[in-house]
Amino acid sequence: MTQATTDPAEFRFIAIARALEPIVSALRPGDRMPSLRRVARDHGVSLATAEAAFRRIESDGLIESRPRSGFFVRARAGVPVPRMPRRTTLALRPSVAERVRALLESVRHPEVVPLGGATLGPSLVAHESLSRSLARVARTAGAAGLTYEAPPGSLPLRRQLARLMAEHGVAVAPDELLVTVGCMQALQLGLALLCRPGDAVVVESPCYYGLLQCAEALDLKVVEVPAHPTTGMDLDALETVLATQRVACVLVTPSFLNPLGALMPDAHRKRLVALLERHDTYAIEDDIYGDLAHERALRPRPLKAHDRHGRVLYCASFSKSLAPGLRVGWLHPAGFMDRALTLQFTQVLATPTPTALALADHLERGGFERHLRRLRPLVASQVTRYRDAVCRAFPDGTRISEPQGGFVLWLELPAPPGSDVTLQRLCLERKIAIAPGSIFSARERFSQHIRINCGVPFDERMGRALGVVGELVRRL
């Protein structure tokens, strides 16, 4: 029983250090901390106790003192990116649908901090300009704006989609496109066109869990090809898979793969298309994040732009760039339009008319491009702020992705296997949603990983929540 452990001043400086953590998280590297004098005054303690609190945070490596200038937030240099999983040619039936549903239900509540689902915050949705387009359509389209819109969907919209794709280097006619209910339904259609129950398809590892859900629903097996954190799918590994077994298609997100944010270089895209041709198979490209490059000049040309022989089916939507509630996506079904139309009649009968017309109006007036010009730099700086906050709040040994686009971070944690689900539960008890890593694989390879959504502007609430998650990781 030493005197020191019962000294209330000791507990006080620890409590103050904890209270300051959200402030540290909310600041950027190089930002100045509040002054000692202010902290002492706010907490009603002496300058010496305030300084002891600062020294405590400094010893955790989060801040540094500069002579005669005060305390500043430290950048954590050289945080490594997550490691690639091992290669495999094993085909497995995924079983993630129940866990994904649990995740999505948990993030519906407004009081839960939304670090789980990959969504933009309401302030980043193009609310005003879209509302004007919706109102204009309601005024001008009359009853025709409320009739059935049979597949392939609204022609004014398909004209605008063809224009967008041409700008990205894919020459298509409006008649080659099919309007869908979001990107998810485009992916489902693509898979239904190319696969039969029991077939194997290739996915990136890790990959968006929605692809695994689709494969599960269609009774498909998946072969997971490792994804590099910077360049995406490992094409040597893919080549081995294609050389050793028959796969119905390759599901690929070349631009800003969810959850890694990787960008497949152009040379890899060309090689991938050549592999498809050589092995007589197809790709379904998910380009939902293609418009969200962090560097403005870098709107990648889709894989589809390299496709000369109808090997790539292209899927996209406006859910990540404009507004997820629109539920407007599209599919370029390559040479399978006829069957795609039949399937689409069966699956949805028709797609919603008012949102399609409003979106066509919005695109025609340049609203989408204006919105993207504002959104892209915001998203890029948001991701940087979240990443900095994770660097500071999470224990040493944490590995963090360096996304080149999109708005999610992928973390490999210094925690035992199976920690992701425990962490998810502990976070939810504290009203924080995170996405557990194991749903990004059919093999549950990523149970020491989590995905963090950075789509909501970073503020003190987010910084505090990341502080809590980081502390929970420390205790795992």
Ligand X SMILES: Cc1ncc(COP(=O)(O)O)c(C=O)c1O
**What is the amino acid identity at position 319?**
S
Shortest spacing between CB 367 and ligand X, in angstroms: 18
3-state secondary structure at position 173: coil
Q: Are residues 455 and 122 in contact, defined by beta-carbon separation less than 8 angstroms?
A: no
Contact predicate 149/390, CB 8 Å: no
Nearest partner of 263 among 406, 387, 388, judged by Cα: 406
Please state, in angstroms and rounded to a whole number, the distance separating the CA atoms of residues 334 and 346: 20
The residue (of 257 and 469) whose beta carbon lies closer to ligand X is: 257
**Which residues lie near ligand X (CB under 6 A)?**
118, 182-184, 208, 210, 253, 258, 286, 288, 317, 319, 324, 329
**Least distance (Å) from ligand X to the CB of residue 220?**
17
Beta carbons of 459 and 114 less than 8 angstroms apart: no
Closest CB to ligand X belongs to which residue? 182
Residue 463 corresponds to which tokens in the numbers above? 């910084």
CB atoms within 10 A of CB 322: 25
Residues 329 and 313: beta-carbon distance below 8 Å: no
Would you say 208 or 446 has its CB closer to ligand X? 208
Which stretches within 288-366 are classed as H helix?
337-347, 353-364
Nearer CB in complex with ligand X: 17/439: 439
Q: Which is nearer to ligand X, 323 or 423 (CB)?
A: 323
What is the rounded distance in angstroms from the CA atom of residue 23 to the CA atom of residue 463?
8
Q: Are 247 and 241 within 8 A, CB to CB?
A: yes
Least CB distance to ligand X at residue 227 (A)? 12
Dist. CA 114–CA 118, nearest whole Å: 9
Beta carbons within 8 Å of 61's beta carbon, 6+ residues apart: 74, 76
- Which SS3 state, helix, strand or coil, does residue 292 take? coil
Choose between 54 and 407: whose C-beta lies nearer to ligand X: 407
C-alpha to C-alpha distance for 448 and 476, rounded to whole angstroms: 11
Shortest Cβ 406–ligand X spacing (Å):
8
Q: Of the two residues 16 and 161, which places its CB atom closer to ligand X in the complex?
A: 161
Show the beta-strand stretches assigned E in 96-244.
113-115, 178-180, 200-205, 221-228, 232-233
- Minimum Å gap between C-beta 140 and ligand X is 27
**Which is closer to ligand X, CB of 405 or CB of 467?**
405
Task: Count other Cβ atoms within 10 Å, centred on residue 470.
Answer: 20
User: For residues 320 and 376, which CB has a smaller minimum distance to ligand X in the complex?
Assistant: 320
CB of 435 to ligand X, least distance (A): 10
Give the span between the Cα atoms of 391 and 346, in whole angstroms: 48
Contact predicate 262/255, CB 8 Å: no
C-alpha 296/C-alpha 404 separation (Å) is: 11
Query: Cβ of residue 424: shortest distance to ligand X, in angstroms?
Result: 17
Shortest Å distance, C-beta 250 to ligand X:
15
By beta-carbon proximity to ligand X, the closer residue of 419 and 441 is 441
Q: Least distance (Å) from ligand X to the CB of residue 384? A: 20
- Cβ proximity to ligand X: between 54 and 209 the closer is 209
Q: How many CB atoms lie within 10 A of CB 71?
A: 23
Q: In the bound complex, what is the minimum distance in angstroms from residue 332's beta carbon to ligand X?
A: 15
